Amino acid sequence: MAGVVSAAPYLDGLNPEQRAAVEAIDGPLLVLAGAGTGKTRVLTTRFTHILAQGKAWPSQILCVTFTNKAAREMRERVSELIGERVEGLPWLGTFHSVAAKILRIHAELVGLKSSFTILDTDDQLRLLKQILRAENIDEKRWTPRHLGHLIDGWKNKGKTPEKLSSGDGYGFAEGRGAKLYRIYQSRLKDLNAADFGDLLLHNLTIFQKHPDVLAKYHAKFKYLLVDEYQDTNVAQYLWLRLLAQRPDKSEQNLCVVGDDDQSIYGWRGAEVDNILRFETDFPGAKVVRLERNYRSTEHILAAASGLITANKDRLGKTLWTDDKGGDKVVVSGVWDGAAEARVISSEIENWFSKGRKYNDVAVLVRASRQMRSFEERFIALGLPYRVIGGPRFFERAEIRDAHAYLRTVKSDTDDLAFERIVNVPKRGIGAVTVQKLQMAARAMGVSLEAATRQLVKTDEIRGKARTALRAFVLDIDRWRTAGADLSHTELAERILDESGYTAMWKRASGRNGDPKAEGRLENLKELIQAMGEFDTLEAYMEHVSLVMELDTGAADDDKISLMTLHGSKGLEFPLVFLPGWEEGSFPSQKSLDESGMAGLEEERRLAYVGITRARERAEIYFTANRQIYGQWQSSIPSRFIDELPAEHVEVKSDTGYFGGENNMAGGYTGVSESFVDSFDASYTKPRSPGWNRYQQNQNKTIDGSATRKPTRKPSSNFKTGERIFHQKFGYGHITNVSGNKLSVAFEKAGDKKVLDGFVERV
C-alpha cells in the first residue's frame, strides 16, 4: 500500500498533518481543523484516497455535509482529484437529503408510504393553524409559527411525542404543547406527509426499533465522513452514532471534521459537546490537529488564538502560519456610532485609492440592526456594497410594513401602502375582501381608503371583515389627529403599538418562538432611532426615498460585503472591520442572561470567527457612547478586547472625535482598560456632530421618561477580593478595580464589568 500512496498525485502538496488525516483510513478519526487550515481539501482527498486504494466502492461511502453547495463542491473536487468524472455517489449529500433517501426505502415502518410528501414551511404552518382552530386555541396569542418552532426544537433533539418530559411544552397554550405535537404527528401520517425535522426523527425511530434495518446499513456503509461536526444538533448526532457504532469496533470507520472553536450556532440547536465528547463516544479514536493556517498573517492568528484560550470547554489547538509579521490587529475607539461609520468608510476609501478592490472588504456586525448606519454612510459616499444573508435595512419586511403605516397616515391616496398593511397584523380581512375594495375603488374613481370608508357603510362587505375595516379606518383617523401633537417618532411608536404590529412580533419571539422575530423587533427600534435624526416625518420619508433610489444604481460586482458575524463563517477577506465591540452588544447581554457561561463562550467563539475571516488586516472598533433604541448610553469596551494579547494589537484612538491627544502608551494592562482611561480624560471634550443631540436627549428615553445620567468617579472604595451584590447579576467577588469600574466574578452570571455605584458590599 505504501508504494501506491507515494505515487498518488492527489497527495502532492499536503502538509504532514493533512496527509496523516487522509491516510488514517481505518478506525474513528477526529480532524480538528482550525480556521483556514484546508479542511475541505482534507475531506475530499480522504474520499479520493479511499476510492483510489480500493477500500470501498463509491456507494459504500456515506459522506454528509450541511449544505447542498458543500456537497456539490465535494463531488466536483473528488472528480477533479481522480482525473475523471465520478458517477454514482448516491450517499454524498446533506443530512436531510440522505435521511430522506433512507426514509423512502423504509417509510412503512413509521406509518408512511414511500410516496410521502415533504411539507414546506407554508404547508406546515397551514396545518398547525388548522389544529389550533380545531382545539379552540387563540392563534393570535399562541401562533402557528410559535408552535412550529417548538415542535422543530423537539425534533432537533430527537424527541418524539412519546419521549417528551412532563415539562416540555408546558409554556404553550396552558400546557397543551405536547398534546398538540401528538395531534400534529398524527395528522401528518393521515396526509402521508413529513416535515423537514421528521426526516431524521423517523430515521432514528427506524434504527432504534428495527435493529435488522440498522444492521443492513452497517454492512452497506464501510466508511463515514462528516463535515462541520461541531454544528450537529442532537438528532444528527444520534443518527450518526447509530450508523457508526458497529458491534465490531474494528469496523467503526468514522471520520469527522470540525472545529470546536467555531461552534457558533447553539441558538439553532447545535451542540458543541458533540465534538468535545468524540473520544468518549469512540474510545481509541485518533485525533489529528490541523493548525497550519493558509489564510491569515501571524499577528491575526496570534490575536485570535490568544482570545479563544479564555474558553474552558475546548479541545485546544494553536494556529500558526509561514506568513510572518503583517499588520497587527487594530483596535480603535470612537465617540459614537456615527463616528464609527465615518471612520470605517474613510478607511475603505483609502484602501480603494491604493488600487485594492471593494470586494476585498467586509464589515461584520453582531446584530443586523447595526447595519443601518453603515448602509446610509456607504450610500451617501457612493460606496458600492452588498448585504449578505439578508435584505438591506430599508428593504426588510418589517421596515417596509412600518413605512407603509406611516405613508397611509400621511396620505389618504397611497393605495400601495394601504393594501400592504390593511391585514397586517391579521385582522380577518382576506384577499376576497381586498379584491372587492379594489374593484369598488376603480368603479368610483377613488382611492382604496376612500372606497373602504364607503363600503363599511353598506352591505357589500359583511361580518368580521366589515367590523375590522371600520376599526382600521377609525385607527387611521385617530393617528392623523394625534400627529398634530406628537413628534414623528412618538407617532410611529404609537402606530406600531396600537396597530398590534409590535405585539405580533413579540408573540412570535416569545419562549421557543420565531428566532428571527427578536431581530425584527430590534430593527423596528433602530427605525425609530433613525427617524429621530430628522426634524419631520416628511424629511425622513424623503430621505428613505432617496436612499432606495440611490441604492438601485450600483450594478458593479465590486462591492463591500456587509453581513452579520454568523453569516460570515466559511468566508474570508483581505480587510475585515469588526465594529460594535462593547459590553452588552458583544458579547450580547441577551446571550449572557439566557445561557450564562455557555453563552459567553459561544460569543467568544463568534469573536474568534470574526477575526479569522481576515487575511491581511483586521480592525476592531468600539464607541464611548452608543444610541440604543433612542437612548444614549455610555459604554465600555468588550471584555474580548481585554483578552487580545497586547503584543499582537495596535491601539489607536480617533483624536478628531475625542478632542486632544490620547496617550495609549505605557501601563498596558489590557487594550480596553487603556481606552476606558482615555475616555475618562476626554469625556467633557466631545467633537462628534451628534453631540448636541446627545446633550439634549441623554436624560430621556424615546417615551420621554427620565434615565440615570452616566456618572464618572475618579476612584472606588471597593477592593479586590470583596464580596458584593448586584441587583441584576446577584452575588460575586471583585477580581480587579480600575477607577470606579469593577471586574467581578459573579456566581451565576460569570465575569462582568460594572460600575461601583450599582453594587453593595455583603
Residue 586 lies in a domain: yes
The pLDDT tens digits for 339-388 are 999 999 999 999 999 999 999 999 999 988 888 889 889 988 889 998 88
Residue 678's pLDDT is: 41
The pLDDT tens digits for 696-717 are 444 433 333 333 333 333 457 8
**What are the grid coordinates assigned to 658, written together?**
475625542
**Looking at the predicted structure, is the pLDDT value of residue 684 above 70?**
no
The answer to which of 150-154, 359-363, 582-586, 591-595 has the lowest mean pLDDT is: 591-595
Residue 255 lies in a domain: yes
524 in the same domain as 491: yes
**What are the grid coordinates assigned to 476, written together?**
387611521
507 in the same domain as 582: no
Residue 702's pLDDT is: 32
Residue 541's pLDDT is: 80
Q: Which domain CATH number covers 281?
A: 3.40.50.300
Q: What are phi and psi of 450, to 5 degrees?
A: -65, -40
Q: Which amino acid is at 372?
A: R
The pLDDT tens digits for 384-423 are 998 887 677 888 889 989 999 998 998 888 888 898 999 9
**Looking at the predicted structure, is the pLDDT value of residue 681 above 70?**
no
Residue 746 lies in a domain: yes
One-letter-per-residue 3-state SS of 360-404: HEEEEECCHHHHHHHHHHHHHHCCCEEECCCCCHHHCHHHHHHHH
**Looking at the predicted structure, is the pLDDT value of residue 685 above 70?**
no
What is the C-alpha to C-alpha distance for residues 357 and 375, in angstroms, rounded to an integer? Answer: 18
Residue 638 lies in a domain: yes
Q: Which amino acid is at 484?
A: A
755 in the same domain as 667: no
Mean pLDDT of 424-438: 88
- The range of the structural domain enclosing residue 499 comes to 395-540
321 in the same domain as 423: no
Mean pLDDT of 537-555: 62
Look at the chain and report how many structural domains it folds into. 5
The pLDDT tens digits for 600-644 are 999 999 999 999 999 999 999 999 888 766 677 788 999 999 999
Annotated catalytic residues are: 39-40, 227-228, 262, 613
528 in the same domain as 429: yes
> Of 498, 513, 540, which residue is a domain's last?
540
81 in the same domain as 211: yes
Residue 250's pLDDT is: 76
Mean pLDDT of 210-218: 95
Which residues fall within 8 angstroms of residue 546, CB to CB, at 6 or more apart?
A: none
DSSP 8-state symbol, 328: P
**Looking at the predicted structure, is the pLDDT value of residue 287 above 50?**
yes
pLDDT confidence of 664, banded at 50, 70, 90?
very low
Residue 297 lies in a domain: no
Residue 562 lies in a domain: yes
Q: What are phi and psi of 225, to 5 degrees?
A: -125, 135
How does the average pLDDT of the chain come out, rounded?
83
Residue 429 lies in a domain: yes
> Of 224, 257, 292, which residue is a domain's last?
292
Name the more confident of 552 and 532: 532
Residue 457 lies in a domain: yes
235 in the same domain as 95: yes
223 in the same domain as 347: no
**What are the grid coordinates assigned to 238, written together?**
444520534
**Looking at the predicted structure, is the pLDDT value of residue 519 above 50?**
yes
Cβ atoms of residues 77 and 39 within 8 Å: no
Mean pLDDT of 120-132: 87
The pLDDT tens digits for 231-275 are 899 999 999 999 998 877 778 899 999 998 988 888 777 888 889
Q: Which domain CATH number covers 476?
A: 1.10.486.10
| Residue in this structure with the C-alpha cell 405536547, named with its chain if needed | 178
568 in the same domain as 647: yes
Question: Beta-strand (E) ranges in 22-67?
Answer: 29-33, 61-65
Name the more confident of 687 and 140: 140
Q: What is the helix (H) or strand (E) element at residue 734, kind and residue range?
A: strand 730-738
208 in the same domain as 168: no
Residue 84's pLDDT is: 62
What is the C-alpha to C-alpha distance for residues 258 and 494, in angstroms, rounded to an integer? Answer: 48
Residue 715's pLDDT is: 57
637 in the same domain as 516: no
What is the C-alpha to C-alpha distance for residues 32 and 261, in angstroms, rounded to an integer? Answer: 9
501 in the same domain as 366: no
3 state DSSP class of 80: helix
> Of 496, 513, 540, which residue is a domain's last?
540
